Copies of this chain bind each other. A is one copy, B any other.
Amino acid sequence: MTQDIALKAAEMLGIIREKKPLVHHITNWVTISECASITRSLGALPVMAHAEEEVEEMVSISGALVLNIGTLTPVLINAMIKAGKQANLRGIPVILDIVGVGATGLRTDSTRRILSEVKIAVIKGNAGEVATLAGAQAEVRGVESISVEGRTEEHAVTLAVSENCTVVVTAAVDLVTDGERMFMIGNGHPMMGEVVGTGCMAASVIGSFAAVEEDVTLAAACAMVVYGIAGEMAAVDAKGPGSMKQNLFDAIMAVGKEDILNGAKIDAR
């Protein structure tokens, strides 16, 4: 099982590097540079474009659309919805990173608005964010998950079913579910949690994989495996969050088939 998925992940990575799909981001101003860099270092082509006047045209030449509400404004949400609708028309997968949902009403309401107007392929969040959207109690302090009532696995399934999409929960063990299948990915390194932007970058990696694989749940699981392995490689000689972040870009360009086949830690049921 693990080896099948590992092989699949290596295969997808090869296709990304060969086809260089364009991954259109409408994202936040904090990690916009990091998201572009991780996409480029992985082998895909990032483009960041948020003007309402061009998002439809830009997404039309893209392989995936990544939306991130980290520094949302109503104007930016409008652009996301416009781009998302166009992506839907063209069958381009849309990834939604629900940064800080639960911390403010604007974040929760805007996310619900996006979900009601755009068909989202993959929702990505931390435990608190996903719990909030699934209707459970949780504390989200800014963009950090502090506490969650109930089981995260169940919140992920609840949200996947209600939105009819794939849900990715980033944590020590990442969860990827479409409501039926559940993948648990043990790759990654605690140091990743100390670096601002690793969550946002995960969505960029998922978008790159979703651009080359129709089964977006499998694509998301494979993305988390590859990203996690790159994180493990990056941590080897990291001395803190500064060197860790830099190493991560080096590692994601260096990660190869053997690293994936030997390093994948994924369970499914």
Which of B104, B194, B241, B248 is in CB contact (< 8 Å) with A49?
Answer: B104
Is the CB–CB distance between B107 and A54 below 8 Å? yes
Q: Beta-carbon contacts of A139-174 to B below 8 Å, as 1s and 0s?
A: 001111000000000000000000000000000000
Copies in the complex: 3
Q: Which one, B50, B105, B254, contacts A240 given CB within 8 A?
A: B254
Contacts of A58 in B (CB 8 A): 103-104, 142
Contacts of A40 in B (CB 8 A): 194-196, 241
The contact string, 1 if C-beta is below 8 Å from chain B, for chain A 243-269, is 101111111011000000000000000
A60 nearest CB neighbor, chain B only: B104
Residues in B whose Cβ lies below 8 Å from that of A239: 250, 254
- Answer whether A51 and B29 are a contact pair too, CB < 8 Å, given A58-B103, A241-B249, A242-B245: no
Given contacts A57-B106, A105-B54, A142-B46, contact A33 B250 (CB under 8 A): no
Contact B48 A240 (CB under 8 A): no
Bound form: Cα–Cα A30–B50 in Å? 12
Instruction: Kindly list chain B residues whose C-beta atoms are within 8 Å of the C-beta of A197.
Output: 33
Instruction: Report the minimal beta-carbon distance from A18 to chain B, rounded to whole angstroms.
Output: 14
A3 at the interface (CB under 8 A from B): no
For the complex formed, measure the closest distance between the CB of A83 and the CB atoms of chain B, giving whole angstroms: 12
A-side interface size class: 35 or more
**Interchain nearest-CB distance for A142 vs B (Å):** 3
Interface status of A15 (Cβ within 8 A of chain B)? no
Q: Report the minimal beta-carbon distance from A206 to chain B, rounded to whole angstroms.
A: 18
Partner of A241, one of B32, B41, B50, B57: B41
Q: Is the CB of B29 within 8 A of A48?
A: yes
**A1-55 interface with B by 8 A CB criterion:** 20, 22, 24, 28-34, 36-37, 40-41, 45-51, 53-54
Do residues A196 and B36 form an inter-chain contact, with CB atoms below 8 A?
yes
Query: What residues on B are CB-neighbors of A135 within 8 Å?
Result: none
Find chain B residues with CB under 8 A from A104 CB: 49, 54, 57-58
Q: List the B side residues contacting A22 at CB < 8 Å.
A: 141-142
Closest to A142 in B: B47
In residues 68-127 of chain A, which contact B (Cβ within 8 Å)? Answer: 70-74, 100, 103-107
Q: Which 3 A-B pairs have the closest CB atoms?
A: A240-B250, A47-B142, A242-B249
Some 16 contacts from A to B, beta carbons below 8 A apart, are A28-B48, A30-B32, A30-B36, A31-B33, A45-B142, A46-B196, A47-B103, A49-B100, A51-B73, A54-B106, A58-B142, A240-B249, A240-B250, A240-B251, A243-B246, A245-B246
